[in-house]
Amino acid sequence: MNARQITGKAGEDAACRLLEERGMMIIARNYRSGHYELDIVALDTEGVHIVEVRTRLDNTVAPSSTVDRQKQAKVVAAAKRFLSENEKFAAYEIFFDIVGVTIVGDDTVLEYIPKAFIPLYV
C-alpha cells in the first residue's frame, strides 16, 4: 500500500469505530462493483447509512467539504448498484452520511455528519 492508501485505511478504520460506538453495524466496507465504490455501508434502527469517508493530514480544509455534487452523484450511483445487488436492504430507508477524518500528528479528529446530503433526482 502507498502512503495515500494507508492514510485512507486509517481514516476508514476510525470511521468504522465511531459508527460502531454509535450502535451501527457495518454491513459492507470498500464495496466495489465495476467502477462503483462505497467506503462504508452501515445499518442501524433508522435504516441503511451509506457513509463517505474523507481523510486529510492537515486541518486547512474540512474533509467533509470535499464531497461536492459530482462526488455525491457517484456515491448515489454506487448506492443504487449496492441496493440492486443486496435486495434485502431495498425496503430500508437510505441515508447518505459523511465522516470527515483529520489526522495531524498523533491527533485524530472525527466529524460525523448524518444525513449529510439528499440525492437529487432529475
Cell 469505530, residue located? 17
CB 54 within 8 A of CB 11: yes
Ranges of each domain in the chain: 3-117
Asked if residue 9 has pLDDT above 70, the reply is yes
The CATH number given to 3-117 is 3.40.1350.10
pLDDT digits (tens, 9 = 90+) for 45-70: 999 999 999 998 887 888 778 899 89
Give the pLDDT of residue 32. 95
Which uninterrupted H or E stretch holds 16?
Answer: helix 3-21
Residue 17's closest CA among 83, 9, 120, 69?
9
Q: Which triple of cell numbers denotes residue 11?
A: 481514516
